[in-house]
Amino acid sequence: MSEQDAVSDRVLTIPNVISLARLIMVPVFAVLIVSGHDGWALIVLAVSGASDWLDGVLARRLGQVSRLGQMLDPAADRLFILVTLLGLAWRGSVPWWVVGVLVLRDALLLGLLGVLARHSYGPLPVHLAGKAGTFALLYAFPLLLLAAWHEPIGSVAYVLGWAFAWWGIALYWFAGGLYVVQARRLLARDGAGAA
């Protein structure tokens, strides 16, 4: 592991400030989407997506990868996904079963984290499939929000939004399966070591 990739215990880093700002944008987005300010909601979503990419790049380039950042970044992603889903479902832009499918996956992984913590393991490293799934979902939401606009923008956004949503859901669950397999290997190794 190079010095650039070393994980520190630092709290005040540029990537962590960006992740914290993204967390602060979650309630702002919730108010905007519920009150029907779609243009501003789209801007907040776009800024959130860009900041999600930026904090990871900066963490690696500046050598500021931190334990806090490794927890803050996915937490901000999950919270944004949940709030966006709830807002879109509340408005009727996505069916409630989509909310259930994505929340169920996160609930299962939260339980898995609890099992790992009991065996003194921290969070598992993020898989590329998980990042790709999150990326696809974060693209799907603004497109599904745009689907309510007039033709031809609405029709194109609807098709692209659902394409990204299906890819995101599939990758989200695929990554969840990878995390379960990884956790089982760790726990099996512990069991073999204890025997």
Tell me the C-alpha distance between 29 and 45, whole Å.
Answer: 7
Helical packing angle, 67-91 and 128-146, nearest 10°: 30
- pLDDT means per 10 residues, the chain with 195 residues, are 59 82 89 87 84 79 77 80 88 90 92 89 81 86 84 90 95 94 87 54
Question: Are residues 33 and 17 located together in one domain of the fold?
Answer: yes
For residue 2, give its domain range. 1-91
pLDDT at residue 63 in the model: 78
Among 91, 126, 155, residue at a domain's last position: 91
Question: 87 with 97, same domain?
Answer: no
Output the pLDDT for position 5: 54
Which pLDDT value is given to residue 3?
A: 44
Q: Which of 46, 69, 91 is the last residue of a domain?
A: 91
Our count of domains for the chain comes to: 2
Q: Does 99 share its domain with 84?
A: no
If asked whether residues 98 and 138 sit together in one domain, one would say yes
- 165 shares a domain with 71: no
CA distance 86 to 187: 35
Of 113, 94, 103, whose CA–CA distance to 172 is shortest? 103
Q: What is the pTM of this model?
A: 0.76
